[in-house]
A and B are shown apart, each in its own frame.
Chain A
Amino acid sequence: MYFTARFQQNLDWTDHTLILPAVAVGNVGQLTVDLLLSTLEVELVGRLHSTAFLPLVGPDPFHAEPKGIVTSCQVYHCLAHKLVIVQQRAPVAMNRRREFRTSLIQWIQEHHFKQVILLSSCFAHFRTDKDLLQIPLKFLCTPDLTESVGSYLHSSLGWRSLERRDPFTYNEDSAGVLHMPGSGITRSLFEECSTKKVHLVVLLLYCSEGDNVPDAFTMADQLNNWLQLISGSDSEKNKSWKVPVSWNLMFGNHPPKNIY
């Protein structure tokens, strides 16, 4: 995997936060990134290119008129909030998952990001009764961030960290595994980041397949509570997120009129 910059420019991102989606159930991470990209003032700075991504091309997803093309994975920069945002629009090839993880972490380490936020999702039907009473979001921090970021997210925002569970009984067990079915490469990426001391925070939203636009708004709102990306009271926030033009006809064309 290699990064192709669009222009010769300063790419010093040492004090930046990297936001990237995991291709997971409902594509919530990718939808949330679309909301961020269409709402914030961002600039396309380059592309991540690899045979690990399944190929995809299309017109620019944020402009109705022709303005360049989109490929499988693009990198955007938001100067105002010191964010680097990666949008991955195609899944990872099933024969190159390990290669993708390794090269992604290598790319992250080369740019010395302050922290990395992975937006992911997992199946809602694995929630416990206790989870049903609270917001359907959990987080995970790599060990280096548990004290600083982890305690802030728990105490100030009320988020709960994902518990380890026994793989057979699903009861909470500190010696168990991180149970996040449907989250794609999230667990393996988290574990590799933990061992390689990459500062990673995973936001995990419980959802089901279907119309996942409301889930994307939920995740974007929660992320906004933490990073303060857009201002406004709670009731106004949904109005503040701009929906990209690429979300049109998400479930196919309108039915033909002559069938009625």
Chain B
Amino acid sequence: MMATFFGEVLPIFSRAVVDDEDEDVPVREVFIVRETAEEATYDQPNFDCQLLVVAVGPSASTFVEAYILSRPLLPVASVQVRGSDKDDTDDQLSGLKFRKQSITLGHFYHTHLQDKVLCCIVPEKLLPEQSTALGEKIFSCVNRTCFTKPVVVILTSLHMCEYKTQKNFDEHQNIILRALNSSTYTVGRLNQPYLEQPNTISGLAAAVLSECEVREIPGVLFVCYTDMLDSDPSHVQAFIPLLEQHPLKSFVIPNEEAEANLKNLLMQRTRDWGNLYM
């Protein structure tokens, strides 16, 4: 965070450090674990799919869970962050044993169209360094022997304050949906406006689209700018128009229980589990 000349605090990345950036700083590794009926196995998963949907953040993840996946949800793999590998003694770890545990950040699911649609849902926050590594690992999970180029759809939400526009904000709605596609994406015409200059996207969504660009895989990123980041019915439903257009229209069968799923998911996520008086 930085204060500007006029005093307002903006989330601008600051280079204001005196130390030289010579040495590596360790970051906990992110990895993908195959989930079998019995237990999780650490070998590299290998999935077949023609459409890969990557949902980043709570709203996009809730949309995929409610409108694209069918219940019961059985993950085929999970995204985990490895626990600290420091050789701390039990005394040093007293009360801090969670540091040694792996944290689950997201899951992979197949839809009812087995082997055709693979969904990767990552509602939790990642470090930027972990996003880059995960973007690469997602593509190494996709089996490219059965077909050459899957279509990749990336869904994410950002706060409205990150949207830059020459227009006055009064002219806009409180939800803005924009698209950005890789050079090889030719699957249907995009109904959403293209992301305007000078907006940029970072994090896992950017990592996946970058991989699409350099691997020449058709990929499209849909970003929804909303006035709050927590899941809200209107923010989740902002992605619904995407179901009516390619490539989701070709693969996703309308889920009749979507509205009920959404209601249940939002009730689970918005309930304050930490309050003793609920």
Contact = CB atoms under 8 A, between A and B. Distances in A.
Contacts of B20: 180-181, 183-188
A95 B169 contact: no
Contacts of B128: 54-55, 93
Contacts of A80: none
Contact of B15 (A49, A53, A61, A209): A209
Given A49-B214, A93-B132, A182 B15 contact: yes
B214 A4 contact: yes
A49 B202 CA distance: 15
Contacts of B25: 94-95
Contacts of A232: none
A72 B210 contact: yes
Contact of B202 (A4, A90, A248): A90
B229 interface: no
Given A93-B128, A93-B132, A25 B16 contact: yes
Contact of B206 (A57, A94, A185): A57
A165 interface: no
B24 to A, nearest CB: 5
Given A97-B21, A184-B15, 4 more contacts: A25-B15, A64-B197, A72-B210, A181-B18
A210 B5 contact: yes
Interface residues of A, number: 60
Contacts of B133: 51
A9 B200 CA distance: 29
B1 interface: no
B115 interface: no
Interface in A216-253: 245-253
A59 B197 contact: yes
Contacts of B136: 51
A28 to B, nearest CB: 10
Given A95-B26, A248-B166, A59 B21 contact: no
Contacts of A24: 15
B118 interface: no
A92 interface: yes
Interface stretch (B43-51, B177-185, B270-278): B177-185
B210 A55 contact: yes
A187 B20 CA distance: 8
A56 B132 contact: no
B131 interface: yes
Contacts of B197: 58-59, 61, 64, 245-246, 248
Interface in B246-265: none
Contacts of B13: 91
Interface string A105-144: 0000000000000000001000000000000000000000
A252 B164 contact: yes
A57 B21 contact: no
B166 A249 contact: yes
Question: Most chain-A Cβ atoms within 10 A of its Cβ — which of B19, B20, B170?
Answer: B20
Nearest to A178: B20
Interface string B113-156: 00000000000000011011101100000000000000000000
Nearest to B208: A55
A242 to B, nearest CB: 15
B129 A253 contact: no
Nearest to A188: B22
30 contacts: A54-B129, A54-B132, A56-B200, A56-B206, A57-B201, A57-B210, A58-B195, A58-B198, A59-B180, A59-B194, A61-B198, A66-B194, A68-B183, A90-B202, A94-B21, A94-B24, A97-B24, A98-B23, A98-B24, A180-B20, A182-B16, A183-B20, A188-B22, A209-B14, A209-B16, A245-B197, A246-B197, A246-B198, A252-B164, A256-B170
